[in-house]
Amino acid sequence: MLRTDEYLLWAEKYRPKSLKEIVNQEDIVVRLKKFIQEKNVPHMLFTGPPGTGKTTAALAFAHDLYGDNYQQYVLEMNASDERGIDDIRTKVKEFARARVVGTVPFKLIILDEADNMTADAQQALRRMMENFTATSRFILIANYASKIIEPIQSRTALFRFTPLSKNDVIERLKLIANKEGVKFEEEALETIYEISEGDMRKAINLLQSSSAVGKVTADVVYKVIGLAQPKEIRDMVSLALEGKFNAAREKLRKLMIEYGLSGVDIIKQIHKEIFGNNLQLSEETRLLIADYTGEVLFRMVEGADDEIQLNSFLAWLVLLGRRITQE
């Protein structure tokens, strides 16, 4: 298995293994190191935007606490992928049952995307945290602290991860490019940073897919972005603007059902696509659509069914398309 390592996705290959390799988030690293020195670890809550190093910090913390074979002391779960709180409970129970041998008297449970749990499930989680304190510590990871219930917040040490600076991202990309022997233009790395908006995972993914072409230039980066996005997104918008609602909806269903994209993913990509050159639109129209995608995103957060909201977006586009041609 080790031999396949060289073909790994770089987002994993270049994930810092130890806290001392983490270059940014200094305050957090200092606090975490202190816990390790004292072997006194509270339950923790890591919050911050995607790609800012929350999961990396949790894994690096585990590595530094237990050593290279840390996996056996760590239970890693992603709340979005667990079937329910009962499954989580079963896994935790199973994992926490056996006492640990070694210098650290407890095990570590990392629960990613904990803010995707309902309030009720979080209540159950809270009780679990209390019940298993003797044998386990929890690291909960979330995008927003506000979506974690108060009782959990008050029982955990809170760490706020901030978006990475432009400099940090670009330095990291350079380091990776150099190690991989990839040629690049400085400008391309800036472009990657801008597109990925401080999300390190996205930035590294983009660097890797761009480098597959050869030398990484800004142009290549944009083309790769175009390749990575399903063509259906653009087609769907064009079809709707041409007044073909049903055809546009077929594309939408393909995206949601076949590609398995969420409504939020789709609307965000439409938002990006709107400002691209593939759609012939006036600047006013671009802004109008961009504004409305925001409205749709808002409605999806409030509503129950993403497809209904996207259907209503397509109906709006049809109307807009007609107004444009009439003008």
Alpha helices in 39-145 (DSSP H): 54-66, 85-97, 119-131
Residue 49 assigned as binding residue? yes
C-beta separation of 293 from 270 below 8 A:
yes
Q: Which of 93, 94, 257, 325 binds other proteins (CB under 8 A)?
A: 257
The one among 96, 220, 237, 267 contacting other proteins by CB under 8 A: 220
The residue within the footprint of other proteins, chosen from 168, 171, 242, 307 (CB under 8 A), is 307
**Contact window for other proteins (CB under 8 A) among 32-40, 143-151, 170-178, 205-213:** 205-213
Stretch that binds other proteins, among 9-17, 97-105, 153-161, 173-181 (CB under 8 A): 9-17
- Minimum distance from CB of 40 to other proteins (Å)? 26
Task: Output the smallest distance, CB 38 to other proteins, in A.
Answer: 26
Gyration radius from the chain CA atoms? 23
Q: Can you tell me which of 135, 153, 285, 312 binds other proteins, judged by CB under 8 A?
A: 312
Read off the tokens for 204.
């590294």
Contacts for 164 with CB less than 8 Å, ≥ 6 apart:
24, 51, 52, 53, 198, 200
Tell me if 190 sits within 8 A of 170, measured CB to CB. yes
Minimum distance from residue 320 beta carbon to other proteins (Å): 9
CA torsion 176-181-185-189 (nearest 10°) is -20
Site for other proteins in 95-154 (CB under 8 A): 112-113, 120-121, 124
Whether the CB-CB separation of 193 and 166 falls below 8 Å is answered with yes
Q: Does residue 50 have a known ligand-binding role?
A: yes
Query: Which tokens belong to 165?
Result: 């600076």
Flag whether 90 is marked binding: no
Interaction residues for other proteins, span 66-85 (CB under 8 A): 76, 78, 80-81, 83-85
Long-range contacts of 246-253 (CB under 8 A, 24+ apart): 248/314, 248/317, 248/318, 249/311, 249/314, 252/307, 252/310, 252/311, 252/314, 253/307
Instruction: Quote the tokens at residue 292.
Output: 């409305």
Identified binder of other proteins from the candidate list 17, 245, 285, 288, rule CB under 8 A: 245
Tokens at residue 150, please? 């108060």
**Cα 207 to Cα 188: distance, rounded to the nearest angstrom:** 9
Looking at beta carbons only, is 87 or 105 nearer to other proteins? 87
CB of 21 to other proteins, least distance (A): 16
Q: Name the minimum Å distance from CB 135 to other proteins.
A: 22
**Residue 163 labelled as part of a binding site:** no
Q: Residue 299 interacts with other proteins (CB under 8 A)? A: yes
* Residue 55 or 156 with smaller CB distance to other proteins: 55
Residues of each annotated binding site for ATP: 48-55
Residues of each annotated binding site: 48-55
